[in-house]
Amino acid sequence: MHLTRLGVAGLVCSLVSWSSSGPTTEARQAGSTLPAPLYNTAKQKILQGKPVVGGTVASPDPNIYCAMASAGFDYLWIEMQHSPLTFSDVAKMIWSCRGTPATPMIRVPDATEGDIQKATDIGALGIIVPTVDTVEKAEAAVKWSKYPPAGRRSLGAGQYGALYGDNYRATANDNMLVVVMIETPVGVKIADQIAAVPGVDVVFAASTDLGNFSGFHQGEPGYETLVTRIKDETLRAGRRLGGPLVWKDRQGFTFFQGPGEAVLIRAGAQASLK
């Protein structure tokens, strides 16, 4: 069996986790007595309560993707909402650096069957859904990310098998990471309901668009009230709380989006010139 992301350490971690808490949800649903192996190393860290940091990629260049995937990030936030990247581009990027430490995650344009199905088929182990301000959209994020009985993902063709092994269908649900972004005051108002949706792993407080849609600026009482409500309701629901890396010192945040490749190249060049 070819599991390029499953190393000895990952297998040991999965077995240790299972021995203390029993089989995973998907394994129980399938009637199996064995845990599904966790080759999504970012999800491993999340389940262990550790902080997770991702770098942002919007360039289709596989060389840039590989450099980011090998730089030490826990995952890569592949940006398909605000970039011209195609699924063909991203499939080549993920394949070009299969086996590198960073888990591939895609911010899809929307929580549609087509977007999420293509993203998972090409090998994304995490789905990030923007502008979630209804319970139905959060439920759709889970539904199209997961195979039955947890969701309604279709069993089609894709490069996932070559990436994660012949038993991918049996292990995919436990390895998929679902992130929903709250970006509007409408979403903040029902943050408790969004965070309570079964299958959601992370609720992400979108720092820029919270200001864009509310008219408040970071640091202003109105803005901070929005962030605090997302934080309180997310943690109360037992989900992980996400935000930009610059919020790493904010209490409760453990899932972070780091800078993009252009910012990092510029910073690296400036450091070299000094």
Report yes or no: 186 and 175 within 8 Å, Cβ to Cβ. no
165 found inside a domain? yes
DSSP string, 169-185: HHHHHHH-EEEEEE-SH
Is the residue at 2 inside a domain? Answer: no
The whole-number pLDDT of residue 226 equals 98
**pTM score, two decimals?**
0.87
Distance CA 253, CA 243 (A): 7
| Residue 54, pLDDT above cutoff 60 | yes
Report the pLDDT value the prediction gives residue 34, as an integer from 0 to 100. Answer: 60
**For residue 137, what is the domain's CATH number?**
3.20.20.60
Residue-wise pLDDT for 167-214, tens only, equals: 999 999 999 999 999 999 999 999 999 999 999 999 999 999 999 999
pLDDT tens for residues 2-52?
Answer: 444 433 333 333 333 333 333 344 444 444 446 678 999 999 999 999 999
Q: Is the pLDDT of residue 90 over 80?
A: yes
Query: Distance between CA 239 and CA 148 in Å, rounded?
Result: 22
Distance CA 189, CA 229 (A): 8
Residue 70 structural domain = 8-273
pLDDT of residue 37: 87
- Residues 97-148 pLDDT 10s: 999 999 999 999 999 999 999 999 999 999 999 999 999 999 999 999 999 9
Measured in whole angstroms, how far is the alpha carbon of residue 133 from the centre of its chain?
A: 18
DSSP line for 142-162: HHHHS-TTT--------THHH
- Rounded to whole angstroms, the Cα distance separating 212 from 201 reads 25
Query: First vs last Cα of the chain: how many Å apart?
Result: 48
Each residue's pLDDT tens digit, 201-254: 999 999 999 999 999 999 999 999 999 999 999 999 999 999 999 999 999 999
82 annotated active-site: yes
Residue 164 falls inside a structural domain: yes
Residue 3 covered by a domain = no
- What pLDDT does residue 9 have? 35
* Angle at alpha carbon of residue 205, lines to 203 and 210, rounded to 5°: 140
Number of residues that make up the chain: 274
Q: What pLDDT shows up at residue 228?
A: 98
What confidence tier does 65 reach under pLDDT thresholds 50, 70, 90?
Answer: very high
Residue 126 phi, psi (nearest 5): -150, 140
How far apart, in whole angstroms, are the C-alpha atoms of residue 26 and residue 101?
24
Catalytic residue from among 50, 82, 236, 266: 82
Q: Give me the number of domains the chain comprises.
A: 1
Give a yes or no: residue 226 inside a domain. yes
Which pLDDT score, from 0 to 100, does residue 130 have? 98
Q: Are 151 and 145 in contact (CB under 8 A)?
A: yes
Tell me how far apart the alpha carbons of residues 188 and 101 are, in angstroms, rounded to a whole number: 34
